[in-house]
Amino acid sequence: MAVVNSKNFYRNAFTKPYAIGGFQAYNMEMIQGIVEAAAAKRSPVLVQSSCRGVRYAGAETIFHITRLAAEKYRIPVVLHLDHGDSTTLCREAVDAGFTSVMLDCTDEPTELAIEKTRDAAAYAHEKGASVEGEIAVRGEWEEIWMTAVPDAVRFVKETRCDSLSICVGNSHALYGRGFPDDKKPCLNLKLLRQIHEALPDMPLVLHSISTGTDELDRRMEAAGGKITRCGVFTVNELKEAMKLGVVKCNVGINKIATTVGIREYLRDNPYDIDPRAIYGAGKQVMVQAIKDHMEHVFFSAGQLDER
Instruction: Render 13-43 in DSSP notation, one character per residue.
Output: HHTTT--EEEEE--SHHHHHHHHHHHHHHT-
Phi-psi region of 23 (alpha: psi -120 to 50; beta: other; left: phi over 0): beta
The two most distant CA atoms of the chain are separated, in Å, by 59
Query: pLDDT confidence of 294, banded at 50, 70, 90?
Result: very high
pTM tops 0.85, yes or no: yes
Q: Reply yes or no on whether the pLDDT at 177 is more than 50.
A: no
Q: Reply yes or no on whether the pLDDT at 307 is more than 80.
A: no
CA distances (Å), 266 to each of 156, 261, 270, 271, in order? 48, 9, 5, 8
The answer to whether residues 279 and 264 touch, using CB atoms and an 8 Å cutoff, is no
Amino acid at the residue 184: K
The answer to whether residues 120 and 131 touch, using CB atoms and an 8 Å cutoff, is yes
Question: Where does 199-234 have alpha helices with state H?
Answer: 214-222
Domain regions of the chain by residue span: 7-296
Average confidence score pLDDT of the chain = 90
Query: 98-109: per-residue pLDDT in tens?
Result: 999 999 987 788
Assign a CATH topology to domain 7-296.
TIM Barrel (3.20.20)
Query: 142-162: per-residue pLDDT in tens?
Result: 545 688 899 999 999 999 999
Query: 84-132: per-residue pLDDT in tens?
Result: 999 999 999 999 999 999 999 877 888 999 999 999 999 999 999 999 9
SS3 of residue 175 by DSSP: coil
What is the model's pLDDT at position 68?
98
pLDDT above 70 as % of the chain: 89
